[in-house]
Amino acid sequence: MSLVYLNGEFIPPDQAKVSVFDRGFIFGDGVYEVIPVFGGRMFRLPHHLARLEASLAAIQLRNPHTVRQWNDIFTRLLANNGTADQSVYLQITRGVAARDHAFPPNISPTVFAYASPLNYPPAEQLAKGAAAITAADNRWQRCDIKSIALLANVLLRQQAIEQGAAEAVLVRDGLMTEGAASNIFIVSGDRVITPPKGPYILPGITRDLVVEIAHFHDIDCVEQPVPIGSLRSANEVWMTSSTKEILPITRIDGRPVGDGKQGPMHVRVFALYQQYKQAFIRGEVE
């Protein structure tokens, strides 16, 4: 990582300094985005910036940059790292002010961004699948905001790690919501199902693309509530995210999902996703 962006400057990481009175540090008062970059092209950038705008509006913070300005910032960061697949992380906090819960007037937001190599799950993990646990969704009621205040998610993911699993599948009022850091799909028979969007689920960009791909290729895919019983009886379970893409979950709470192997629907949808990604790299789709 050669340079990061901080408040209008492109500087080495060790020179990037943020005040200890920044509200992101004091309160977790801010939002973030993660944008994958394939073949030098930012993947679904308009979708990511739209989600960023929605998160900023939800916390009553003005977007500090136009779409063109964001594009220029990201392009310069990416130019320093070559054309390998990368991800761009950006974070906006409300800024620096004396510690007070109320929004301070007339302060400038803190804007930070950097690019780093994108590491995919190895082929062996795709074929073998990942383990997960179920856990009570004890987060707040605005999970649709991509907030930097992620302590509950951190604790849930750590709970999974300590039990030898890669993800925690969250359950609230008897219904599956999402993963600690992912969206979740199940396959029941020939139908692909994922919970509908709402305040308990982050509107994932990869999630939405999987739904689009399924519909385009006439795969039966619906967005509907998923009871915990349907999760436990599913033929397949997947987690999706910008960095994990579409990763099969083959064990939940120590029990196999289906036959405990990567399922045929995952093989099909993952291949279609990769085809879409290659078409994107060639400039054939946006």
Between the two ends of the chain, the Cα-to-Cα distance in Å is 27
The alpha-carbon radius of gyration of the chain (Å, integer) is 19
Mode of pairing for the β-strands spanning 236-241 and 245-252: antiparallel
Token representation of residue 232? 């436990």
- Beta strands 30-38 and 86-93 are antiparallel
- For residues 123 and 275, what is the distance between their CA atoms, to the nearest angstrom? 17
Residue tagged active-site, from 146, 244, 261, 277 = 146
197 is catalytic: no
**CA dihedral angle for residue 173, residue 179, residue 183, residue 187, rounded to 10 degrees:** -70
β-strand pairing of 236-241 with 183-188: antiparallel
Instruction: Report the catalytic residues.
Output: 146
